[in-house]
Amino acid sequence: MKKAPTQNQPAPDLCDTISHKQNSGSIGPATAVQDARVQRTDHALRHALLGLLEQHAFEAIIIRQICAEAGVHYATFFRHHASKEAFLEALARDQMETLLELALPVSQQAGDGAGLDTLCQYIDEHRSLWRVLLTGGASATLRAELLRSSLTVARQKAIAHPSLPMELAATCSVALIIEVITWWLKQPEGAYSRNQVSQMLQQVLGQARLMEP
């Protein structure tokens, strides 16, 4: 027989109970339902943050605001993320993975120029978020994810730099891409089109190759 909550043990919030405690040790359909609920909760939190970023600076957004927008209990947020900053870093990793899933196949099939066009198009369509990611403390995460993926592609395709170790060559290319994109997002919106920035990236990366010893 279940005991009623005492004064020191308040009844748990329904959302927390269903999403995170029920069937915690089970497997099979119950686990699948639980995982789906966790995914929906995380999706709601991310969607809420993206919406708030369209209206407010990241520094001005508080966790309770994100939870209210998402319709998620405040305590549930901390079951997914340790802090607002950790949430932003997780979002940065997901954004970079999405971007690379779009840009890398294009680059492999149609060339680096087309891949950079795709990269700039995606960032331009999610400009507010990427401005926050690159200028609000998540740039290191983005840089690390881009470098990891670049090295993976280079190893798979056995791409060798004529005079630099593979890791150093990839690091330099990633640094150039991140710096150009960061500069672009700091400019007034509309000052430079996505096509112009793609051309800049191609020129900068091309100039770096021309300077090879």
pLDDT in tens, 47-104: 898 888 778 878 889 999 999 999 999 999 998 899 998 898 888 888 888 888 888 7
One domain, residues 27 and 57: yes
Q: What is the CATH number of the domain that holds 96?
A: 1.10.357
The predicted structure's pLDDT at residue 72:
93
7 part of a folded domain: no
Flag whether pLDDT at 143 surpasses 70: yes
- Note down the domain range covering 200: 86-210
One domain, residues 23 and 125: no
Cα(121)–Cα(126) distance, integer angstroms? 9
If one compares 128 and 61, the residue with the highest pLDDT of the two is 61
One domain, residues 90 and 51: no
8 part of a folded domain: no
One domain, residues 95 and 189: yes
One domain, residues 34 and 116: no
Flag whether pLDDT at 1 surpasses 60: no
Cα(49)–Cα(66) distance, integer angstroms? 6
Task: Provide the whole-model pTM.
Answer: 0.66
The predicted structure's pLDDT at residue 7:
42
Best-predicted range by mean pLDDT (10-14, 51-55, 92-96, 188-192):
188-192
